[in-house]
Structure 1
Amino acid sequence: MPDHNAISQEDTPAPELPVALDMPGKVADFLRASDLEPAERAALDQGVTVRRGQDYSLRITAVPGVHRQLLARCQPLDGGQGVPTVPAQRKARREYENRVTGLGVPD
């Protein structure tokens, strides 16, 4: 029996651990005005504001899956679908995308 338990524990995926990432303020402002899931809203609300010159970043601690969900929700900042593109917002979304994809965790 002990061998069976060891095998089943190895097959179970490890839980995702929270990761702190800085989200550009332009992305955070866009997401605050969006309809978010409770876990996404909680991560955003618990973020810590970090001043960056004239702008700010929001340091968010959440599991990688929540970061990926937030990234998916800010996709309209890239334009398309008749939505006008604001270069600063587009750049901010790309910066956050680079940080999220840098986690090295598959979707």
Structure 2
Amino acid sequence: MPGKAADFLRTTELDDAERAVLDQGATVRRGQGYTLRVSAVSAVHRQLLARCQPLDGGHGVPAVPAQRKARREYENRVSTITPIRP
């Protein structure tokens, strides 16, 4: 998960499972920013992605290009996740 998306999520209200995923993530430095490596089932990633929707702007909130890009990158990564079936 891109660092800008993780920073945004830390300031929002999350349920216990989502908060635990963020708290247990490992920070990896990448150039100017960072990536947060998190291990979670695809459903939790999709919930987190849905909560990142305000980063695209709208609802009177200005869109910051770097945040929009971070949300898009996270969306691309989440879309490649295939659910594991028992």
Query: With structure 1 as the length reference, what TM-score do the two structures score?
Result: 0.76
Q: Distance in 1 between matches of 2:32 and 2:64?
A: 18
Query: CA separation in 2, counterparts of 1:25 and 1:51?
Result: 9
- Residue number in structure 2 paired with 1:25: 3
Runs of 4+ in 1 over 6 A off after TM superposition: none
Q: Name the counterpart of 2:38.
A: 60
Give ranges in structure 2 of 5+ residues lacking alignment: none
Counterpart of 2:81 in 1: which secondary structure?
coil
More strand by percentage: 1
SS at match of 1:81: coil
Q: Larger Rg: 1 or 2?
A: 1
Aligned counterparts of 1:37 and 1:55: Cα–Cα separation in 2: 26
1:104 CA displacement:
3.7
Flag the structure with more relative contact order, 1 or 2, with Cα contacts below 8 A and sequence separation at least 6: 2
Three-state SS of the structure 2 residue aligned to 1:62 is: coil
SS at match of 2:38: strand
Q: How many equivalent pairs are there?
A: 83
The within-5 A match list for 1:86-105 is 86-105=64-83
Aligned alpha-carbon RMSD (Å): 0.7
TM-score (norm: length of structure 2):
0.94
5+ residue gaps, structure 1, are: 1-22
The CA deviation at 1:102 is 1.1
